[in-house]
Amino acid sequence: MLASTSHRLRRSFNISRHAEKKAHLPMEFIVELLLEFIIQVVGEALFELGLHSMAEPFRRPPNPWLAAIGYAIFGVIVGGISLWPFPHHMVAAPLWRWVNLLATPVLAGLCMSWLGVWRSRRGQTVLRIDRFSYGYLFALCFSAVRFTWAT
C-alpha cells in the first residue's frame, strides 16, 4: 500500500512539474525573443547614430546597391561583435530560433522605418538605414550571424 501511494505521489509530482514547465515556456520564449530584439535594435540604433555623425561629409547619396551591400556587411560585422558579450542564443528552442530569424529582422526594419518617419517629421536627415528595406537587411544579416555562430 505504501509503495502504491508513493508511486501515485511521484506521478502527480512529475505531472505537476511538467505542467509547471509548460506554464513557464511562453514567458521564457517571450523574454528570449524580447532580448534578441532589443540587442538587434540597440545595435542598429548605435550603428545609425554613428552613420549620422559621419554622414555630413558625404552629401551625395551612394548607389543603392552598393549601400545595400554595405549595410549587409555592417550587419555581419555588428552581429559578429555581438557574439563577444552574448555568445549564446537568446532563444533556446531550435524551432523558435528559426521563427526569431524571420520575425526579428522584420520588427527591427519596422522600428527603423518608424525612426525614419520620426526624423523626417522633425526635419532631420534621414539615412538609408532609416528605411524598412535597409533596416531589415542589416538586421537579417545580424540575425543570420547570431543564428549560425551563437552556441
Exposed e or buried b per residue across 35-58, where buried means at least 16 C-beta atoms within 10 angstroms of its C-beta: ebbebbbebbeebbeebbeeeeee
pLDDT exceeding 70 applies to what percent of the chain?
75
Q: What is the pTM of this model?
A: 0.65
Higher pLDDT, 87 or 1: 87
Rounded Cα gap, residues 114 and 121, in angstroms: 11
Q: Above 70 in pLDDT, residue 12? A: no
Confidence of residue 57 (pLDDT cuts 50, 70, 90): very low
Q: Quick check: 22 and 89 in contact, CB under 8 A? A: no
User: How many residues belong to the chain?
Assistant: 151
- For residue 131, the model assigns a pLDDT of 92
* Nine cell digits for residue 59: 552629401
Residue type, 122: R
